[in-house]
A and B are shown apart, each in its own frame.
Chain A
Amino acid sequence: MLRVHNLSAGYGSLHVLRRLSLHVKPGEIVTIIGANGAGKSTLLRTITGLLRASSGEVLFKGEDIQRIPPEQVVFRGCSLVPEGRQVFAAMPVRENLLLGAYVQHKRGKRDEVAHDLDRVFGLFPVLRQREHQLAGTLSGGEQQMLAIGRALMARPTLIMLDEPSMGLAPLIVKDIFHIIAKIRDEGCTVLLVEQNARSALKIANRGYVLETGRIILEGDAGDLLANREIQRAYLGKDLDGENK
């Protein structure tokens, strides 16, 4: 579904991503984990075409995303939930969600929007309760749910999430991740970029570990969870294991 091949990107002469490759198959949650500064957000920005790659390609359903304008990417079924939630604070929850449906309008599937809205409310009952409340009055966790819900209104086949757990309390993180797994189970493919390695790996099928712009480990999520290399990637070489 998504194939990233030899991707390099950066800002000016600053190389952030160094020739990395990854892929996402239909129906799976693939997570890209890494400490801050590893290049996770740059990777997502490049994958969605917001940042131009200096080399390599990003194929979404066989098409090079770099050559498609960002809104066309959404139209073709790839939605991004950006970091820091970015909901329209002065707008009610319902309107925020309907904004996400504009792609469905363009697709001529206006009559499906009501059903989509129902589905999002089904996933996030709390959003139904807050339907007419201004998004700015929601808690951090609720705003995150709203951001995900809005992306779902575009009926994506691939949804990409940038650090949905950031700044949220552990209990809420648990809820959000539970819902992400549910989204996958309902047939939507998920690319999840996270710092919170443990939570992400628990729901993911496969994962990639990013460190200073390179993938240093990939594999089944369960195997990665058991791999100490991740701890090294986050906190440096195992100093205690040095004298072997």
Chain B
Amino acid sequence: MFWQQESECMDRKELEQLQLERLESTLNRVYLNVPFYLKKFDEMGFNPDDLSSLDDLGKLPFTAKSDLRENYPYGLFAFPLREVVRVHASSGTTGVSTVVGYTRNDIKTWSNLVGRVLTAGGVTADDVVQISFNYGLFTGAFGLHYGAERVGASVIPMSSGNTKRQIKIMQDFKTTALVSTPSYAMLIADTIREMNIDPNSLSLKWGLFGAEPWSDSMRRELEQKLMIKATDNYGLSEVMGPGVAGECLHQNGLHISEDHFLVEVIDPETLQPVKLGEVGEMVITTLTKEAFPMIRYRTRDLTRLMPETCPCGRTLRRMSRVMGRTDDMLIIRGVNVFPSQIEAVLFDVEGTEPHYQIVIDRKGALDDATVLVEASEKIFFDEMKKQKELIDTIKKRMASELGIAVEVKLVEKKTIERFEGKAKRVIDNRKL
């Protein structure tokens, strides 16, 4: 039920004391050992000796992805390489990748935190865990691998790809837990169906999915198709990798390991904290990382904190599943809209993973948004009335969920252009 019960169910007041202690020592350490932070703190006029409570966190500078790039490869390490036992890197979608490192203690902590996530998601020492993340520089596979070993499960380091072979292994090795991205799990699920394999004949019980945003509707579909209980988990290599937060079996928000990460939610425009419970950009400060501490890292991920207590008994606060990224946030008629929200509505209405495109124009002073949806083939054989009904349903749902009116058009399958298999989600024709 719990991996580290004492920590996961800690009294909130004790937790705050621990966070303050760890924040103090982290700040002192980065100030002493990382010239980048020394310089930044000095520029802000901040001295670690001035920290008097967790509320002072706001006095500290933010760290951005660009800071990691500018200090490529090892500039932000707080330890000499001799003490670093592992190096990971994130793929650089915009050029230079970012490099992170781990000491022996970091690996141990990381394994335990992933252990928490796995345990919360149902995994025990009796499980056979198939890791279908790509092994390599990416933190996902190794993070979950070490965590699963730590928990004592039998780990199959499968890596991703070769879906039919994945399924064969799943059958032969009696895999009970699948660890992957939700989209890859969906591909596996669909392939199982195509191969006419009865999901009941599999031993699968648990699905632990992460590394990309997904919706509740997608969860339901995965749970049905694979006959599993599916939970979401969150992490990013800049602060550690997977294991930062994970859902328990109540499937209502991800418990953040707050004894190791201090989380703030800020308004990405004003950079001020939002009210507790409101949506904003998540900012993370590591509290125990040795080799690669991070101070106020701007994740660009949008979420909200859920202050209510969870029936599972964990006192660690939850975050809602990631709702999108600040860098793909659209502002349509002054309203913040995320492609993921549109995706969730379509998913709900259509019942399958949608292919869609959002086209935004400006007519006069007003933004005009149109959502193109690839409809399933059968709908085009249906009468016009049914098509109209579908469009109306989508429009209504969009209006209520997003707070703006959008135009909806059905288009034929495979007419929306795709890049490397992924649809281009947004076409913004506004000249702003």
Contacts and interface: CB of A to CB of B under 8 A. Distances in A.
Query: Chain B binding site: helix, strand, loop or mixed by DSSP?
Result: helix
B29 A244 contact: no
A214 B21 contact: no
Nearest to B80: A241
A63 interface: no
Nearest to B288: A219
A215 B25 contact: yes
B53 interface: yes
B24 A20 contact: yes
A130 interface: no
Given A226-B104, A238-B80, A21 B288 contact: no
Interface string B18-58: 10111011001100110000000000000011111100000
B32 A218 contact: no
Interface in B342-372: none
A66 to B, nearest CB: 17
Interface string B283-301: 0000010100000000000
Contacts of B17: 3, 5, 21, 23
Contacts of A134: none
B54 to A, nearest CB: 10
Range for the number of chain A residues in contact with chain B: 20 to 34
B77 interface: yes
Interface string B401-424: 000000000000000000000000
B169 interface: no
A194 B177 CA distance: 47
B29 to A, nearest CB: 5
A83 to B, nearest CB: 24
A229 B14 CA distance: 26
Contact of B29 (A216, A240, A242): A216
A217 B22 CA distance: 8
Contact of B81 (A214, A215, A244): A244
Interface in B133-179: none
A217 B17 CA distance: 15
Nearest to A225: B105
B184 interface: no
B105 A226 contact: yes
A227 interface: yes
A122 B381 CA distance: 92
> Nearest 7 pairs between A and B by C-beta?
A241-B80, A18-B49, A216-B28, A21-B21, A214-B28, A244-B81, A223-B105
10 contacts: A5-B20, A20-B24, A208-B25, A216-B28, A218-B25, A227-B105, A229-B33, A229-B79, A240-B82, A244-B81
